């Protein structure tokens, strides 16, 4: 790393034009050295995305709200430089990949080449750069596919490839792994780390702190528009954990801090950041362990009378163009919280759209109780199944949050007074009461996703399908959604959560169904499924971090709960 300052921001203040009295950046000063890797952490609404936009010039030149302070990006004075002036220096990967893709290209290759063509790069160089970048992010085999036929995670990889092809000095990445399966996210972080090793300056904003903290030089903790901690990742995460800041503290850090609290490790030893580091720290503490009795998963309470059963009977689905997304899939779902796991493109979202009739099976049948989805309209099936999309912008269209949440309940024909009660209940459950009169389009991605979930909750259907509900959520948002799912299942509803978040599945699933290549690979309780890491890896799923730490440390029958792990290692320590 050199000592050259590539970015200098001094006393930056900013507010969005829609809310000029709400300051999003408050006296932010920051220097970034060339070749550095800086991670931005903090709760939703802390100002992280706005700071990323400032680095690319979108603030204040596109979002032209009140701005004060100074900023120089690669020698460009932000007061006079345009977004175009900064384009050669700063590559920006948006929070939602759908905001990044042009929609004007018919192949993945052409989409990744689009910006290079606009810059007049020679055709042969474009072909070489694009092929290299598509391979780098793991979608070289999809070069001829239409971008609209990609899964959310594949779109995210394409967005990253299109930016890497530009070879900017500064990579600014806003939630670049939020829609990726665990191993896919790890691969992308490794790609970003390699770009850093090659001299790129990296600024990465993500709630998935565990994946990139071991690679970063520095973390900035942002809260309420201010930088409240700045330093090396170990010290910042320890600081955040000890003061209970609203961020997702990685499991290695949590376990390391608990070992220090209990006196098993000296307090002066830096906390571990990775699974390997945590396992190395645990290994000397392990005595002559015998396998613990297998912990039984808690039984799933029977659903309320009239619980709906969903059956997929050997269904296949082939998209236009010949992509076979489902291939003889067979599963029955009837109660509790069922988490669907599997790599991007394994068929999870395609299955979800079959459950309320948005898609019809090419072969086989889907039954909602005795309703064959092939013979019923979506409006009829919506009485039984509510679906919150992976991308909330595919779902939201009303002028206010309140109107949006009320829309589905009204369409189902509920009386006006019941609609009001359902809307109030959903807004309260999703912590949206204070936003009820806001336009959903003005909210953060995390808030828009909660609005989409609230609109489904307000429909009061016996089955709810939530596609990546924790995507882009901070730690409080994850906890809120977890409580919601627990409450809904306790009420007798069937909740089907499509997720890459194995920590969410560990805490809230009563059953896990793992998909691979359009069919069921594993089906069982969390303990049963996560005890098969080899099989899971074939569909790019990793067990929860606590289980991987225990396994790496040599603990038999790795537990799924941190307290169980510590109890096995330090059973006599209070």
Whose CA is closest to 283, among 567, 569, 566, 564? 569
pTM of the model: 0.88
Give the span between the Cα atoms of 318 and 308, in whole angstroms.
27
Find the radius of gyration of the CA atoms of the chain.
Answer: 24
Decide if 517 contacts 346 (C-beta within 8 A): yes
Q: Determine the pLDDT at residue 2.
A: 43
Residue 408 CA to chain centroid, in angstroms? 25
Decide if 386 contacts 464 (C-beta within 8 A): yes
Q: Determine the pLDDT at residue 303.
A: 44
Give the span between the Cα atoms of 541 and 129, in whole angstroms.
30
Give the span between the Cα atoms of 261 and 186, in whole angstroms.
30
Q: Which long-range contacts (CB under 8 A, 24 or more apart) does 420-427 make?
A: 422/458, 422/459, 422/460, 423/458, 425/457, 425/458, 426/454, 426/455, 426/457, 426/458, 427/401, 427/402, 427/454
Give ∠ CA 393-399-404 in degrees, rounded to 5: 65
Give the span between the Cα atoms of 228 and 509, in whole angstroms.
35
Q: Determine the pLDDT at residue 103.
A: 84
Q: Specify burial of residue 64 (Cβ count, 10 A radius: 0-12, 13-18, 19+).
A: exposed
Q: In what order do the strands lie in the sheet with 324-333?
A: 324-333, 310-318, 363-368, 371-372
Q: Residues near 270 by Cβ (< 8 Å), separated by ≥ 6?
A: 234
Is the alpha carbon torsion for 360, 366, 372, 376 positive or negative? negative
List, for residues 428-442, the tens digit of each pLDDT value.
999 999 999 999 998
Say whether 544 sits in a helix, a strand or coil: coil
> How would you write the pLDDT of the chain (574 residues) with one tens digit per residue?
445 689 999 999 999 988 888 999 999 999 999 999 999 999 999 999 999 999 999 999 999 899 999 999 999 999 999 998 998 899 999 888 888 888 889 999 999 999 999 888 999 999 999 999 999 888 999 999 999 888 877 888 899 999 999 999 999 999 988 878 888 888 889 889 988 998 999 999 999 999 999 999 999 999 999 999 999 999 999 999 999 999 999 999 999 999 999 999 999 999 999 999 999 999 988 865 545 454 455 545 444 444 799 999 999 999 988 889 999 999 999 999 999 999 988 999 999 999 999 999 999 999 999 999 999 999 999 999 999 998 899 999 999 999 999 999 999 999 999 999 999 999 999 999 999 999 999 898 899 999 999 999 999 999 999 999 998 899 999 999 999 999 999 999 999 999 999 999 999 999 999 999 999 999 999 999 999 999 999 999 999 999 999 999 998 888 999 988 988 887 654 4
For the chain, count helices (H), then strands (E). 22, 20
Which two tokens mark 260?
A: 């220090």
Work out the widest C-alpha separation in the chain, in whole angstroms. 68
Say whether 338 sits in a helix, a strand or coil: strand
Quick one: which H or E segment has residue 567?
Answer: helix 562-569
Instruction: Report the 10 Å Cβ neighbour count for 404.
Output: 25
Q: Determine the pLDDT at residue 462.
A: 96
Whose CA is closest to 186, among 355, 344, 416, 420? 344
What does each C-alpha distance from 259 to 244, 271, 533 come to in angstroms? 17, 10, 26
What are φ and ψ of residue 358, in 5° steps? -65, -35
Q: Specify burial of residue 537 (Cβ count, 10 A radius: 0-12, 13-18, 19+).
A: middle
Whose CA is closest to 389, among 342, 348, 337? 348
Instruction: Report the 10 Å Cβ neighbour count for 321.
Output: 10
List, for residues 230-248, the tens digit of each pLDDT value.
999 999 999 999 999 999 9
| Full DSSP string of 381-422 | HTTTEEEE-SSGGGT--SSSHHHHHHHHHHHTT--HHHHHHH
What is the 8-class DSSP label of residue 238?
Answer: H
Q: Determine the pLDDT at residue 437.
A: 96
Give the span between the Cα atoms of 436 and 32, in whole angstroms.
39
Give the span between the Cα atoms of 330 and 179, in whole angstroms.
25
Upper half-sphere CA count for residue 295 (Cβ side, 13 Å): 15
List residues bridging with 67 in a β-sheet.
14
Query: Domains along the chain?
Result: 5-245 (3.40.50.300), 252-295+550-569 (no CATH), 310-548 (3.40.50.300)
């Amino acid at each position: 790393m050199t000592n050259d300052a590539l970015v200098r921001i001094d006393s930056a203040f900013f507010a969005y034009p829609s809310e000029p009295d709400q300051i999003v950046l408050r006296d932010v000063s920051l220097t970034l050295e060339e070749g550095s890797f800086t991670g931005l952490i903090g709760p939703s609404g802390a100002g992280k995305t706005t700071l990323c936009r400032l680095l690319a010039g979108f603030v204040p030149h596109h979002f032209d709200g009140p701005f004060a302070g100074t900023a120089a990006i690669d020698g460009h004075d932000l007061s006079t430089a345009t977004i175009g002036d900064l384009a050669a220096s700063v590559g920006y990967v948006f929070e939602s990949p759908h905001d990044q893709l042009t929609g004007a290209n018919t192949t993945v290759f052409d989409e990744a080449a689009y910006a290079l063509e606009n810059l007049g790069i020679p055709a042969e160089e474009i072909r070489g750069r694009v092929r290299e970048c598509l391979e780098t992010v793991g979608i070289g085999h999809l070069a001829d596919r239409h971008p609209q036929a990609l899964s959310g995670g594949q779109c995210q990889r394409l967005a990253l490839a299109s930016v890497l092809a530009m070879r900017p000095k500064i990579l600014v990445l806003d939630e670049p792994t939020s829609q990726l399966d665990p191993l896919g996210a790890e691969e992308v972080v490794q790609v970003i780390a390699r770009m850093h090793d090659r001299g790129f300056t990296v600024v990465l904003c993500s709630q998935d702190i565990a994946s990139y903290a071991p690679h970063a030089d520095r973390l900035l903790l942002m809260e309420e528009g201010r930088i409240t901690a700045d330093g090396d990742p170990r010290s910042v995460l320890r600081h955040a954990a000890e003061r209970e800041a609203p961020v997702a503290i990685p499991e290695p850090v949590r376990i390391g801090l608990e070992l220090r609290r209990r006196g098993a490790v000296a307090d002066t030893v830096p906390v571990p950041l990775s699974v390997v580091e945590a396992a190395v720290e645990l290994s000397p503490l392990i005595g002559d362990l015998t396998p613990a009795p297998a912990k039984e998963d808690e039984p799933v309470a029977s659903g309320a009378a009239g619980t709906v059963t969903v059956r997929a009977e050997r269904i296949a689905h082939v998209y236009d163009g010949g992509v076979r997304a489902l291939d003889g899939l067979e599963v029955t779902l009837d109660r509790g919280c069922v988490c669907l796991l599997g790599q991007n493109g394994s068929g999870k979202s395609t299955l979800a759209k079959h459950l309320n009739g948005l898609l019809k099976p090419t072969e086989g049948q889907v039954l909602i109780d005795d309703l064959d989805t092939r013979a019923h309209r979506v409006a009829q099936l919506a009485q039984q199944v509510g679906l919150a999309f992976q991308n909330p912008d595919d779902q939201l269209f009303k002028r206010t949050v309140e109107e949006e949440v009320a829309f589905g309940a009204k369409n189902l024909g509920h009386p006006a007074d019941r609609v009001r009660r359902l809307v109030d209940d959903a807004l309260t459950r999703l912590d949206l009461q204070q936003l009820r009169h806001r336009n959903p389009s003005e909210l953060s991605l995390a808030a828009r996703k909660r609005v989409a979930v609230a609109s489904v909750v307000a429909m009061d259907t016996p089955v709810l399908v939530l596609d990546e509900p924790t995507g882009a959520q901070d730690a409080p948002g994850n906890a809120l959604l977890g409580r919601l799912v627990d409450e809904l299942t306790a009420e007798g509803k069937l909740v089907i959560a499509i997720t890459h978040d194995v920590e969410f599945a560990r805490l809230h699933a009563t059953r896990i169904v793992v998909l691979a290549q359009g069919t069921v690979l594993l089906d069982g309780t969390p303990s049963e499924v996560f005890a098969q890491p080899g099989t899971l890896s074939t569909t790019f799923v990793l067990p929860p971090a606590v289980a991987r730490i225990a396994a790496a440390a040599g603990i038999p029958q790795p537990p799924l709960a941190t307290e169980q792990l510590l109890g096995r290692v330090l059973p006599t320590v209070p």
